[in-house]
Amino acid sequence: MATVIDRRSPKDYATDAAPWWCPGCGDFAVLRALQMAAADLNLDPARTVLVAGIGCSGKIGDYFRSYSVHVVHGRTMPVATGIKLANRDLTVIAAGGDGDGYGIGLNHFIHAARRNVDITYIVMDNKVYGLTKGQTSPTTHLGSRTTSAPTGAIDRPITPLRMALVAGVTYLAQGFSGDPKHLARLIKGAIQHKGFALVNVYSPCVTYNKINTYDWYKERLVNLDDDESYDPGNWQAALNTVIDKDDLVTGLIYRATDVPTYEELLPGYRPEPIAAQELQRDPAEWAKILAEFA
């Protein structure tokens, strides 16, 4: 008898929760792209975990059908790492915004990249703190007027693509909410990648950022996937490109396939997930441990 494979559609990854994002928010397209990528990969919602950060973008965990963990500000990477190490059979995805990931969570992002933990990190970059009414964020352009910098931002912005490359990221892509189909392909590739994958997404905030709009990006973004001469396997070329283009690129920027994951380098590594391993300890040793906390 032939085996019938249950194929899922993007609708299968939707929940009953009604999104409260502002009409036109770029995060709608990110959610749609993630659902499309999950459907293409036929991910099992019961074997998928989405770790969501704080901010408007962090609500994505309520709208994507899988296990979901909503963490405190900036802590998506430690929680996602712990989940992946505890059960390596799970598909672990983290999502957040530029404030969550590149502000209070910047140190965790850098360390997750250098360790090459096998997780996918999607950052919705709108260049403002949208949830708290449009303050300057780590990626706000110099001179941009915000509610916390009415005369113009004076802090030089974080450059996440360059930082990720220098930190040792093994999959780096950048998408745009104005092209969800292309973004879905980038997210799909990130989930398939063995190692740490960052997908930075230019996701316009239509309420508080009147500079970096959909039209602003459409006039400036260059799709590297359309350039047949571009080699995403060349680290130096990737770094030079994002610098030369001032980060205004989309597509697969860099991918390394020969770097072992953090899980594989751990002492005593075993391919089966820790949750499935049989843990045995001498009863006398257990009694000694319990006595220490009595």
* Residues 210-256 pLDDT 10s: 999 999 999 999 999 999 999 999 999 999 999 999 999 999 999 99
pTM: 0.89
- The full set of domains in the chain, from first to last, is 20-292 (3.40.50.970)
> C-alpha angle 149/155/161, rounded to 5°?
120
Nearest to 58 by CA among 153, 111, 158, 126: 126
Largest CA distance in the chain: 71
Cβ(141)–Cβ(157) under 8 Å? yes
Q: How far apart are CA 199 and CA 66, in angstroms?
A: 19
Place of tokens 């509610």: 147
Average pLDDT over residues 116-128: 96
Nearest to 256 by CA among 238, 271, 235, 277: 235
Structure tokens at 134: 């449009």
pLDDT beyond 90 at 275: no
* Residues 44-95 pLDDT 10s: 999 999 999 999 999 999 999 999 999 998 899 999 999 999 888 999 999 9
SS3 195: coil
Of 19-23, 165-169, 189-193, 217-221, the one with minimum mean pLDDT is 19-23
SS3 290: helix
pLDDT beyond 60 at 2: no
pLDDT beyond 50 at 1: no
Structure tokens at 260: 């072992």
C-beta neighbour count of 45 within 10 angstroms:
17
**Phi then psi dihedrals of residue 52, to 5 deg:** -110, 145
* Residues 94-105 pLDDT 10s: 999 999 999 999
* Residues 4-55 pLDDT 10s: 457 899 999 999 999 899 999 999 999 999 999 999 999 999 999 999 999 9
C-beta neighbour count of 163 within 10 angstroms:
16
